[in-house]
């Protein structure tokens, strides 16, 4: 029993030392590489212009319908009731498109 317990302690100690001795690279380029890898698969957002302060319905190229009410847009000063608001839309309807 002492032999098994001693072996277990030694194995745990070796694993602990191995994990703690690994250098952690905080400046990993994995995220940059991943972004570059999937850059070609990204959809270009559609830019839709909406007039603030009135009810507006806009449609995306794949059929998405967005209904904006006159009070849909808020800014730092409250409800935006005039001017134009640019909305970007990306439509994803099939599995795997969200990559």
Read off the pLDDT of residues 35-45 as tens digits, 9 standing for 90 and up.
777 777 778 89
Average pLDDT of the segment spanning 61-83: 91
Confidence grade of residue 23 (pLDDT, cut at 50, 70, 90): low
Residue bearing the bigger pLDDT, 85 or 6: 85
Residue bearing the bigger pLDDT, 27 or 92: 92
User: Domain for residue 66, yes or no?
Assistant: yes
**Beta bridge partner(s), residue 17:** none
3-state secondary structure of 73: coil
CA–CA–CA angle 26, 29, 34 (5° rounding): 130
Q: Supply 10's token pair.
A: 């030694």
Place of tokens 């507006």: 56
- Helix (H) / strand (E) element for 16: namely helix 2-21
User: Domain for residue 32, yes or no?
Assistant: no
User: Domain for residue 58, yes or no?
Assistant: yes
Indicate the number of domains in the chain. Answer: 1
Other beta carbons less than 10 A from residue 92's beta carbon: 12
Alpha-carbon 23 to chain mean position: 28
User: Domain for residue 34, yes or no?
Assistant: no
User: Domain for residue 97, yes or no?
Assistant: yes
User: Domain for residue 73, yes or no?
Assistant: yes
């Amino acid at each position: 029993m002492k032999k098994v317990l001693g072996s277990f302690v030694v194995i745990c100690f070796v694993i602990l030392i191995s994990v703690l001795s690994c250098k952690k690279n905080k400046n990993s380029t994995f995220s940059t590489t991943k972004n570059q890898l999937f850059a070609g698969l990204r959809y270009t957002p559609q830019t839709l212009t909406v007039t603030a302060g009135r009810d507006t319905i806009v449609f995306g190229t794949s059929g998405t319908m967005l209904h904006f009410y006159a009070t849909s847009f808020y800014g730092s000063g409250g409800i935006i009731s005039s001017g134009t608001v640019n909305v970007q839309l990306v439509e994803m309807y099939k599995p795997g498109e969200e990559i």
